[in-house]
Amino acid sequence: MPGKLTICPTPIGNMDDVTKRVRDSLLMADYIACEDTRRTGKLLERLEIRPRPRLVSYHEGNEASRAVELVKRIERGERVALVSDAGMPGISDPGYRIVREVIDRGLELVVLPGPSVVPVALVASGLPTDRWRFEGFLPKRSGEMERVLSSGETVIAFESPKRLTDSLAALAALAPDREAAVCREMTKVHEEVTRGTLAELALRYRGDIRGEIVLVIGPAEATGHGHEIGFAVEALRRLVQAGARPRAAATVVASLTGTRANDLYTALTGRRPRR
């Protein structure tokens, strides 16, 4: 019998969300590759999978070497299941390398549907779902945040609870009126979705914050001339680099693009203009 790799999404919080196909695949696997063998062991106990397949650690630190090792086992006819600590393997979790190895060698790959916090947070946010993109973890640099805010798509990003306060403050300084949502502990007992503008969320989330965070940011609105604010900010930056004074240049770019001069100035400098 030929071996195969099965990608098995695991619950992001509520253990009742595991599917029957995932349970069956874990039960039939010869090896289960997982980020944390202790955590996966508890999952197998909850699913009453006995005897337990062999658990093999598969994480960011050993992904390259372990992927080669596991693919060799698949070539010998063994069945490998890949899980992450929560959600879909390969989405901001290890998984890409072994998937590529399996595809490149013409081996069987099965990807099972299951829980993922990305679409859950997107729909729960109440923001547009027709065009969206997953950013991974929210970038830290101001310039990268500007890129995120300039998107004409709804953006979903992970964020650490320790960084959420600073990140919201930085985003609010660039686009205070942008609609967004903070989704915390999705599908868990203390699930919370807070919706509002970035300025409102920056005021709401201060101090000690706990839990797993997903931030959803609404798309940039097109201006009267069909441009997004990101293009206007870039035009302003080039004018300033050429020697123009920031406030005067912001006024000119605002008149040409239909954006607000104060928003452009804040996006460029990171501070509100003085009155």
**266: pLDDT strictly greater than 70:** yes
What does each C-alpha distance from 33 to 78, 117, 274 come to in angstroms? Answer: 13, 21, 56
Confirm if 200 and 134 have CB atoms less than 8 A apart: no
pLDDT tens for 203-222 read 999 888 999 999 999 998 75
- Owner of token pair 């686009």: 175
The tens digit of pLDDT for each residue in 104-126 reads: 999 999 999 999 999 999 999 99
Supply the pLDDT for residue 223.
42
H or E stretch covering 125: helix 117-125
User: If 0-12 CB within 10 Å is exposed, 13-18 middle and 19+ buried, where does residue 82 land?
Assistant: buried
228 has a pLDDT exceeding 60:
no
- Could you tell me what percent of the chain has a pLDDT over 70? 93
Query: Does the pLDDT of residue 41 top 50, yes or no?
Result: yes
In this structure, the strands spanning 179-184 and 213-217 are antiparallel
**Listing from the earlier edge strand, what are the strands of the sheet with 179-184?**
132-137, 154-159, 213-217, 179-184, 192-197
- Print burial letters for 209-236: b (CB count within 10 Å at least 16), e (below 16): beebbbbbbbbbeebeeebbbbbbbbbb
C-alpha to C-alpha distance for 215 and 25, rounded to whole angstroms: 32
Q: Can you give the pTM of this predicted structure?
A: 0.76
The tens digit of pLDDT for each residue in 170-199 reads: 999 888 899 999 999 999 999 999 999 999
Structural domains in the chain, sorted by start = 4-111 (3.40.1010.10), 117-217 (3.30.950.10), 229-269 (no CATH)
Give the integer Cα–Cα distance in Å for 66 and 139. 29
Cβ–Cβ under 8 Å, residues 121 and 211? no
d(CA 226, CA 28): 55
Nearest C-alpha neighbor of 81 from the set 68, 93, 97, 95: 95
Q: Is 60 exceeded by the pLDDT of residue 227?
A: no
The residue-averaged pLDDT of 222-236 equals 61
**For residue 226, what pLDDT is reported?**
40
> Could you tell me how many helices (H) and strands (E) the chain has, helices first?
11, 10
Average pLDDT of the chain?
89
11 backbone dihedrals φ, ψ, rounded to 5°: -55, 140
Position 273 scores a pLDDT of: 65
pLDDT of residue 195: 97
Provide mean pLDDT across the span 56-70: 94
Q: How far apart are CA 197 and CA 212, in angstroms?
A: 20
- Name the strand (E) or helix (H) holding 195: strand 192-197
In this predicted structure, the answer to whether residue 42 has a pLDDT above a threshold of 70 is yes
Q: What pLDDT digit, counting tens, does each position of 138-172 carry?
A: 988 777 888 888 888 999 999 999 999 999 999 99
Q: Is 87 exposed, middle or buried (0-12, 13-18, 19+ CB in 10 A)?
A: buried
pLDDT of 275 above 80: no
